[in-house]
Chain A
Amino acid sequence: MRRVVVTGLGLVTPLGADVETTWKNILASKSGAGPITKFDASDQKCKIACEVKPADHEYGFDANKRVDPKIQRQVDPFIVFGIDAAGQALEDAGLTDLDEATKLRAGCSIGSGIGGLPGIESESLVLANRGPGRVSPHFVHGRLINLISGQVSIKYGLKGPNHAVVTACSTGAHSIGDAARMIRDDDADIMLAGGAESTICPIGIAGFAQARALNCSFNDRPEQASRPYDKDRDGFVMGEGAGVLVLEEYEHAKARGAKIYAEVVGYGLSGDAYHVTAPDPEMDGAYRSMAAALKKAGMTPADIDYINAHGTSTMADTIELGAVRRLFGDAMDSVSMSSTKSAIGHLLGGAGAVESIFCILAMRDQIVPPTLNLDSPSEGCEGVDLVAHTARKREVRAVLNNSFGFGGTNASLIMKKID
């Protein structure tokens, strides 16, 4: 069977515009949260978010580095983040200059949970206030979710599968899993896989706040607002950014002497068939998704050293933990589980990809990233290593990443170090 490995990484997050800066800040227990600066949020219930920082910030994002200014003007920020992260991943993998035969076997699977909400909002206002003749001709293709994959394929000449997953907050994980299957099934030798999101705009914040999903009680203490598993958790903090990985067929990577970060060995998917936003109280869907990934990997829970939890800082955290406990049994004693959403917020469709990259870096550096703000663990967290407050060195041979989305959609990925 064709094996799939990871050979390149790219990140744009609220804690850095590249992989190493973000990771350094994650390990230093920094928070990317702050008051919303992208628009006047004074009339919103939620006034905080984890924004990608502007170019002049210590770890800000400079869109001009990899994205043509003309494209920047035409598309929503999630596409700009995605193009940049994809470029980083290709550069990291040493795959920026491809011959024609390689291009035909290289594709994209970069999705988003929501897509171009800020642009939909602003152009709707143009339509309402100034009429249809003033709506931008770039409106549609500047907002569509599959346009990261589209733009990236055009920029780098990638002519293989061109795909984009839309499964809310499990988009990033599904994107990686689907792309790995495309390589395994011989549709491609190389796939750029990941997700991006940027919905910190008035309608985005208002919509999630009205759905009672956002934290609205820590507006004066933004850095403490995302607190997975903590008793005082009260909803997620919206993040933004992108994560993109280069997935590559193992022999292909080996033949060109590529740096190999990890192997994608397990991918599980399931549906809750329960409720549009609330998790099944038994988290049966999450349990089946994790179990399926383990089965595919041919592993037992004891083989997993680190779990990057979905852990959004909502009531669902402990329900997820319950499902993990049910699946892991005695192996719960040896696994570490944390939520990096405590530091960068919830990147929605980007989350699964960004967090998979953190999992890979945890294996590379043999260190597990922390769950910030976990001052008083909730009932049900007893006896679980949730890596409170500070990162910790430990052996990390294999990792599990969970992502769950509105609609009751679940994805679990297992990756392991390669000998």
Chain B
Amino acid sequence: MSDTADRVKKIVVEHLGVEADKVTEDASFIDDLGADSLDIVELVMAFEEEFGVEIPDDAAEKISTVSDAIKYIDENKG
């Protein structure tokens, strides 16, 4: 597992209060991890903070699974 994936999953576990083993790469934030739209805003902010990336609203809207987040961060971090 990549370093990005580890850090993303840690943030998801902390922010959504879910068990670590539920946070698979295929997991959907809303359908599988019980997040609502505001939780996703908060997650995106936490990813921006952790990785020093900027995730604009149109890109954030396309992030619906854990792997979407990891992929976006890997492609855009400095």
Contact = CB atoms under 8 A, between A and B. Distances in A.
Interface of A: 68-70, 73, 133-134, 136-138
Contacts of A134: 45, 49
Nearest to B14: A73
B41 A70 contact: no
B42 A70 contact: no
Contacts of A137: 38, 41-42, 45
Chain B interface helix/strand/loop/mixed: helix
A377 B17 CA distance: 53
Contact of B38 (A68, A133, A138): A138
Nearest to B34: A70
B63 interface: no
A70 B16 CA distance: 7
A70 B38 contact: no
A40 B36 CA distance: 36
Contacts, number: 17
Interface string B10-51: 000001110000000000000000000010011001000100
A69 B17 contact: yes
A154 to B, nearest CB: 12
A69 B18 CA distance: 11
Contacts of A69: 17
Chain A interface helix/strand/loop/mixed: helix
A138 B42 contact: yes
Interface residues on B, range: under 10
B34 to A, nearest CB: 9
Contacts of B38: 137-138
Contacts of A70: 15-17
17 contacts: A68-B17, A69-B17, A70-B15, A70-B16, A70-B17, A73-B15, A133-B45, A134-B45, A134-B49, A136-B42, A136-B45, A137-B38, A137-B41, A137-B42, A137-B45, A138-B38, A138-B42
Given A73-B15, A137-B45, 7 more contacts: A69-B17, A70-B15, A133-B45, A134-B45, A136-B42, A136-B45, A137-B41
Which 4 A-B pairs rank lowest in CB-CB distance, beginning with the nearest? A137-B41, A70-B17, A137-B38, A69-B17
Contacts of A138: 38, 42
Contacts of B49: 134
A73 B14 CA distance: 10
A68 B17 CA distance: 9
- In this complex, the member of A68, A70, A73 whose beta carbon has the largest number of chain B beta carbons within 10 angstroms is A70
Nearest to B44: A137
A109 B38 CA distance: 26
Contacts of B41: 137
A79 to B, nearest CB: 16
Contacts of B16: 70
Nearest to B16: A70
Contacts of B17: 68-70
A68 B15 CA distance: 12
A329 B49 CA distance: 66
A70 B42 CA distance: 12
Contacts of B45: 133-134, 136-137
A137 B16 CA distance: 14
A339 to B, nearest CB: 41
A133 B15 CA distance: 18
A364 to B, nearest CB: 39
A138 B16 CA distance: 13
Interface in B37-77: 38, 41-42, 45, 49
A65 to B, nearest CB: 16
A69 B13 CA distance: 12
A70 B43 CA distance: 13
A134 B44 CA distance: 11
Nearest to B48: A133
Contacts of A133: 45
Nearest to A68: B17
Nearest to A138: B38
A138 B15 CA distance: 12
A138 B46 CA distance: 13
Contacts of A73: 15
